Each structure stands twice: as C-alpha cells, then as structure tokens.
Chain A
Amino acid sequence: MSEILLRIDGKEVGAKEGTTLLEAARSAGISIPTLCHHQGLEPYGGCRLCTVEVESRGWTKLVAACIYPVEKDLVVRTRSEKVDRIRRMILELLLAHAPDAPALQELAKEYGADRDRFDKEASFCIHCGLCVRYCAEVKKKNAVGFIDRGTRREICFVPEIATKECWQCKECFPLCPTEALQAAFVLTQSLFAAPPASGPDRTRSDAGDELP
C-alpha cells in the first residue's frame, strides 16, 4: 500500500491508502471526537460527531472522518465554526436522551452544548450501534439488533438467542457510551417479555426456565 500525503489542520500527515481520515488524524496525534466509532469494528458513520471539513479540487464539503478515505493532497480542517456548530447540535440532540452520560458531558463542555436545550426523551439509547455491531461482528451471535425505523428505532435483544448467549457474555454492556444499565434493562425486558407470536409453543414460563 502506498503512502498518501494530506494536510490535517495545517499539518502534513502521511497515511496508508484505504485508511480513513479519522485514522490518519489520530496517528498524527490530532483528536476528532467520536461516539459510534470502535477500533475493532467496521466504520459506521452514524453519530456524525466526527464531521470535518475537507477541501478537494476547489470544493469544500463536510464529511464523516470515520468513513472518508484519505486522498492525496486533501486539506482537512477538524475544527471550524461550522464543524463546531454541527457537533454542538448533535451533542444537544443526544443529551436529550442521555443527559448524565459522562462521555457526552465531557464533550458538551468542550463544544458549549446546552444539556437542556431539548426536552428529555424517554430512552437513554443514542443508537450508536456499538452493542449491535459488536455482537454481530466480533461475537457473531446477532443477539441484539435494531428494530423499526426512524424515530421509533430501538435496540432489541432477540430472546431466542439472548437466553442462550447473553448471560455468559455481557461484553456489550461496557461498550455503551451512555449507560450500561440501559443495555441490561433492555436485555432483561426482552427475556422476560412474552416471546413473539412466531413461537406458539413457548410461553413466558418456558422462556424463564432457560435462564441460569
């Protein structure tokens, strides 16, 4: 793989072809905030907190650093008025869900995000998908997934898989950037809720019997 040279915040940075702006910046000691990124997982591009400004062939655009591939002579600005404004709004939107999450509070301080700009939402989940992707990509179990779409989208454990896999594992809990208890709660809820209609022979007590 050839080395690609680009400029990040005025600094010349070398990166391997096929790597991302986020990797290139971090290797050069330049920090870009992320919430849905995890080194061991495929880039996701969901939280958009890593949005940066890039200039290429005379065009300036906003891209997600965690998925944008490095390009020769690209000029990258990891902070700008616009970038900061986007990050502040994203944080304010997420703080409506998880106002007390330490990761969010710390970033809120840096970007001047108002914790109470929006009314509080019922769910802690910020849909970073770390639990879902970790379970799929690393554990290859798919015990937890997303259900529904849009603003109704939620994480959900699949009872049939979770009863077998989750109690021995729980590796996704500490990955949650908002509140590990949230994952525990959703898991417990799915295990004790009546299983879906697809399993007519499984009743609530049957599901409970399988618990350790």
Chain B
Amino acid sequence: MARIDSPEALEALREEIASRRNPETPCVSICAGAGCIASGAAEVIAAFEAEIEKQGLQADVDTRETGCPGFCERGPVVVIYPEQICYLQVKPEDVPEIVSQTLKEKKVVDRLVYADPTTGKKAVLESEIPFYKNQRRNLIGSNIRIDPKRIDDYLAIGGYAALAKVLFRMGPEQVLAEVKRSGLRGRGGGGFSTGRKWEESRRAPGDTKYVIVNADEGDPGAFMDRALLEGNPHSILEGLMIGAYAVGANEGFIYVRQEYPIAVENVTVAIGQAKEYGLLGKNILGSGFDFTIRVHRGAGAFVCGESSALMTALEGKAGEPRPKYIHTAVKGVWDRPSVLNNVETWANVPLIIDKGADWFSRFGTETSKGTKIFSLVGKINNTGLVEVPMGISLRDIIYGIGGGIPGGRRFKAVQTGGPSGGCLPESLLDLEVGFDELTRAGSMMGSGGMIVMDEETCMVDVARYFLDFLVDESCGKCVPCREGMRQMLKILTRITRGKGKEEDLALLEELSEVAADASLCALGKSAPNPLLSTLRYFRDEYEAHIRQKKCPALSCKALIAYHIDPDKCRACMICLKKCPAEAIDGGKNRIHVIDQARCTKCGTCLEVCPSRFGAVGKISGIPVPPPPSEEARTLVGKGKKA
C-alpha cells in the first residue's frame, strides 16, 4: 500500500478502487459477525469458497465476509449482489444450490428466502423483509457492504472523505459547531450533548488532550457496539480522528472489552491498514495533523463502562470510579482533558460531517436527534440489532420490526437501558423512544439494550436479576451502592422465596433513594431503576408475592408447584420416565402424581406432557390439591376411568 499524502490522492485511490470493481460482478456477502459465527457462518463461508472453486467461478464471483447486518435470529445471513437477494439460516449443504442456481443461473432459491411466520409471504430482497424495511439503517446498513478487514471496502463506500473534509476544508471550531448543531447526544447511557462535551475539552487548559472510544459494552443482552466495531471499524476510527481534530488531541484510545475478540482483531487490523495508507500517524493526508490510536483491552468489569472508572483503568489502576465534580472532559486520563464517547456516538460523526448536521437532525425528535441502534432480545420473534429513528414508538419496534412475542403469549414489559434502566409496561407501548421520554417514564435510553418480556416473566425476579448482576459488578467502593444493593438483593431474594414482609417494599424504596442520592458514580445512582420501575408499574406482583405467597407469572420456583390434573392425565408414562428427580408416581393405566417433596421444579414434566393431554400445569398461591384415591387413579379401557 502506498501512503496517501493529499485529499486528491485519496480521491484518486477511491476512483482506482471503484474502477477495479465491476458493480455487475456477483458478490456473495456472508455475515461473519459474532451471532452468525455462533450459528455456523464459518462453515458456510468455507463451503462457498470450496464450491465456487469447484464450479470454476473464482474469476467471476467475489466473496465478502462482513460484519453483522442485524438479523441474528435468522443467521447465518447471506446476501447476493448485485440483486441483493437475501438468504437466511443458510447451511453449508445449501451452498452448492446457491452457487449453481443463483450465481450461475440467476435464479432465486425459494426455500432460503424470508417467509413471514404468520402469513407465509415471501421476501426475496433484503430491503423487502419487514425486519429491515421498517428500520432506518444509517449506521449499521453499511456493515453488509464491507469486509471489515479490507480498508479498500470502506474507501469504496466513501470512507475517510469526512476526515479529508475537516482537515482541509473546516477548522476545528467549525467541526465543533457542526456537531453541536446536529444535536448528537451520547449513545452510551447519559445522553450528554456530544458537541458540548467536545467544546468543554477544547476550551480546557493543557496541550495534551485525549479522545477515547468506550467499547466496554457490558449491559446484559446488548451488542450494538460490538456489531459496529466488528463490522465497520474504520467508521469508528474516522469519527475518533474528526473528534480529535476538533478537540485538539493527537492521541486516542479504544477501550474495548477483552470478551470481544473479533472486535479487538478487526479494529487492530483497521488501525494497521489506516497507518499504512497514512490515514493515521504523522502528517495525515499531508495536513500537518498527527494522530495515533492505541487499543486497550478491558479486563471484563462492567463498572469500567463508567467514564471515570474507564479512565482509571486506562491509567493501569484498578477500574474504580472517581468523583467527577470536575468533568473528565477537563480532567480525565492522567488529569488531562479527555473526551470519552461511546462507539455508536463516534460512528455517527463521519456521517454528520459528510452529510451535514441538517441531514442528521432530520431524523428523531426535538431533543433526541438521529437514529439509535437497539439490541432487541428476550421474548421476541426477531432477535437482533435494529436501527430506528429516535421518536419511533416502542410498539413499532417490538411489533413492526421485532415481529411480536413468540408462542402467541402476551407482552408484559420491555426493559430498556440495561441494569441502569427500567421496565416499561404495556400501557406505555406507544411511548416515543427518546432520551427524555424514557427517563420520564422511569427507564432510560442507556446504550440501547431492549429486553422484551412476556407474561411468563416475573417482574420481581427481573428486579432481583439485575441487582444480582450489579452486586458483582459494582466496584464496591462506596457504601450506598455496595451495602445498599447487598440489602436490596437480600430483600428481593426473600420476596421471591415467599419470605417477604409487608414492610419490605417501603424499605426497598428507602434503600433505593439513598443509593440514588448518595452513591459515588452513575452505576450506584441508577442501580435502583429496575427495582423502582417494577415497583411503579408492577406493584401488584410484589404484593402477591408477599401477601398471597403467589408468583402471578408462575416463575419463582419457591412459590410454584407442578401439578398433574387427574382428569386430564392419560397415564402415558412419558413424564414419569423423563422426570430426573424420580418424583412422579404412577404406572401404566395408573394416573400419575407428583411427589411434591421430591420435585425439583425443573419443569421437564410440563415440557414433555403431550399437548393433546395438557395434563401438567403450574400453580401458585394455592395449596396443591391432594392426590386422587388409589381407586380413582386407575384407568380402564380406552382412557376411561374406573
């Protein structure tokens, strides 16, 4: 690779790359993101390479391993260009047919295209699939178009044009003004104005300043930053460089969690390639601007996603938050002005510069501009990453894009914002998704985790789950967080075990208030949110646990019993044989009865009981009915009772 020493040379290279590529040449894009790899994408990729060679198409077909396009539920995802035919859940054995039919004959392999689970309606093109059609994919849409390990792919879609633009056609103040005008707010949790943060750092005294990418994504069930860093690492680098130029920094860090090996690898490769092209290092594009980036791998502490804890960890110390009465933008890493933004925030920057603040702020609401990526997980048909304009309703995300709740079950709540967020009930499904709207409802945007829960989810147990996560992930430095959560978790555990007391709810609220008011960092201050929001919207569930010793969702093990309905049991012996605890008594033609003392409540009997019988059920809050008499337990004739 030759060093690019001017913006003209960059454009010339871009043209040269384009001239080498015939847009009519078939290209097989295979998602090699973490989700698809887990579903066997590596084998599919190998199968394509082998088959293309076998059919002698190497010269006529390109293949591309890309980042995550978002539809993880139906991975591995394969898109065939130029037609953009989208094949889902592709297996290695499907590959010969795709190669001979689609690549050679230009025919669609019907059984691999999207079919609507309810209507059966098919969608051949990526853009026709409802999951994609209802999104606005400004950021993540590029993932399927590039191989993250090839900088030329990024250049081919216009990469680094925004960098060249700021270096040669905009002053730092102009960049700052543009980002401020866009209304971009931090995508990592707090939703602080990105432009104002940059400005604070730019105005802060000192010659050495830093810009940092927060890729310590740790919310349970969240993977949007991972997909961006794995799938389009150059867009993050470009955003970071533009920020550095605006702030006056020459050094940047990418703090990425060790648990994201593909992200670490791809971003490291990207940095290497950018250096070779002279897009990183000294005198970038001949502009006189110097910038270097180092990758710092985090050791797996959730609290290090908090800005001051992340910076302490960057310094090589144990990652504990420190008091932020002086903003880290003024006094951050090694006490120097440091701008820390989340991966997704940085990814937005090149787009804002390239297309303008006006274009960016066309999407969204008055106070929340642009798009936001959510990881839609839990009890939802279409698990995956969705990018939507701010202001869309929760209902449109969950039903319009997510395809609703599986198994015909009823929606109960959606948890947004991870352990710092809250659970929102059905009555708020039409809430507009925005920073302030979610906060007012008792939840928060957070980094974009969205966990959907159905009627079988116990909200007390959800609150307990998040606290259980946080008592391990709190750094343990300050009392309201460490000790307050220790007690909150004890109380919640007690309630889910049927040992709750009437006064527990008031005590939980008191502990929450002190943690929110007096904790040292945002982790402790926001830790009560899952608890408080479930208390606000699902108080009746808490009360049922405490007063009637009943779990309305039939989920808390200590409060439920499995029971075989003697009128429905046909003594088929299936549950009896499958019960791992040997807790089922019965026999051929002898109605089965669960020995409650031996039952471990694993739920196997309920799972295996044939649906035509549906004899096994869960009960809570009422005593288990006594078993029928020996006489009544005998079945005679064709399923008839004696």
* Interface positions of A (Cβ within 8 A of B): 43, 45-49, 51, 62-64, 67-69, 82, 85-86, 89-90, 93-94, 96-97, 118-119, 121, 126-127, 129, 146, 148-153
Contact = CB atoms under 8 A, between A and B. Distances in A.
B545 interface: no
Contact of B479 (A67, A85, A126): A126
A4 to B, nearest CB: 14
B474 A48 contact: no
Contacts, number: 103
A189 B301 CA distance: 28
Contact of B486 (A48, A82, A151): A151
Interface of B: 301, 303, 318, 322-323, 325-326, 470-480, 482-487, 489-490, 510-511, 513-514, 517-520
B474 A150 contact: yes
Given A48-B479, A85-B510, A94-B479, 13 more contacts: A43-B323, A45-B478, A82-B517, A93-B486, A97-B483, A121-B486, A149-B303, A150-B472, A150-B485, A151-B471, A151-B483, A153-B475, A153-B476
B436 to A, nearest CB: 18
Contacts of A146: 318, 476
A129 B482 CA distance: 14
B477 A67 contact: no
A201 to B, nearest CB: 27
Contact of A150 (B475, B487, B490, B511): B475
B475 A48 contact: no
Contact of A149 (B301, B325, B483, B486): B301
Nearest to A91: B479
A124 B513 CA distance: 25
Given A45-B520, A89-B510, A149 B474 contact: yes
Contact of A46 (B472, B479, B489, B511): B479
Given A46-B478, A150-B470, A93 B520 contact: no
B207 to A, nearest CB: 22
A19 to B, nearest CB: 13
B325 A68 contact: yes
A83 B66 CA distance: 54
Given A69-B326, A150-B474, A86 B514 contact: yes
Contact of A47 (B301, B326, B479, B514): B479
A94 B476 contact: no
A119 B322 CA distance: 30
A38 to B, nearest CB: 16
A160 B439 CA distance: 50
A14 B480 CA distance: 31
A27 to B, nearest CB: 19
Contact of B482 (A82, A85, A119, A151): A151
A34 B472 CA distance: 26
Contacts of B326: 69
A46 B520 contact: yes
B313 to A, nearest CB: 12
Contact of B483 (A49, A68, A96): A96
A92 to B, nearest CB: 9
Contacts of B475: 149-150, 153
A93 B483 contact: yes
B471 A150 contact: yes
A48 B476 contact: no
B519 to A, nearest CB: 7
A67 B303 contact: no
A90 B471 contact: no
* Most A CB within 10 A of own CB, among B325, B514, B518: B518
30 contacts: A43-B323, A45-B478, A46-B477, A67-B323, A68-B323, A69-B325, A85-B514, A86-B480, A89-B480, A89-B511, A89-B514, A90-B479, A90-B483, A93-B480, A93-B487, A94-B479, A96-B483, A97-B483, A129-B477, A148-B476, A149-B474, A149-B475, A149-B476, A150-B473, A150-B475, A151-B483, A151-B485, A151-B486, A151-B489, A153-B477
A13 B319 CA distance: 36
Nearest to B473: A150
Nearest to A93: B483
Nearest to A82: B517
Contacts of A68: 323, 325
B484 A93 contact: yes
B551 to A, nearest CB: 24
B323 A127 contact: no
Contacts of A63: 325
A43 B322 CA distance: 10
A67 B519 contact: no
Nearest to B484: A93
B306 to A, nearest CB: 13
A152 B513 CA distance: 23
A69 B327 CA distance: 13
A148 B485 CA distance: 16
* Most A CB within 10 A of own CB, among B482, B483, B489, B513: B483
Ordered nearest first, which 3 A-B pairs have the shortest CB separation? A153-B476, A93-B483, A150-B474
Contacts of B486: 93, 121, 151
A208 to B, nearest CB: 30
Contacts of A149: 301, 303, 472-476
Contacts of B470: 150
Contacts of A93: 479-480, 483-484, 486-487
* Most A CB within 10 A of own CB, among B325, B472, B486: B325
Nearest to B521: A45
Contacts of A126: 479
Given A46-B477, A69-B326, A127-B477, A51 B482 contact: no
B482 A127 contact: yes
A56 to B, nearest CB: 11
B302 to A, nearest CB: 9
Contact of B518 (A43, A51, A129, A153): A51
* Most B CB within 10 A of own CB, among A48, A121, A150: A150
Nearest to B318: A146
Nearest to A51: B518
Nearest to B491: A118
A148 B472 CA distance: 9
A126 B480 CA distance: 12
Given A149-B301, A151-B471, A62 B518 contact: yes
A118 B482 contact: no
A127 B520 CA distance: 14
Contacts of A94: 479, 483
A198 B482 CA distance: 30
Nearest to A97: B483
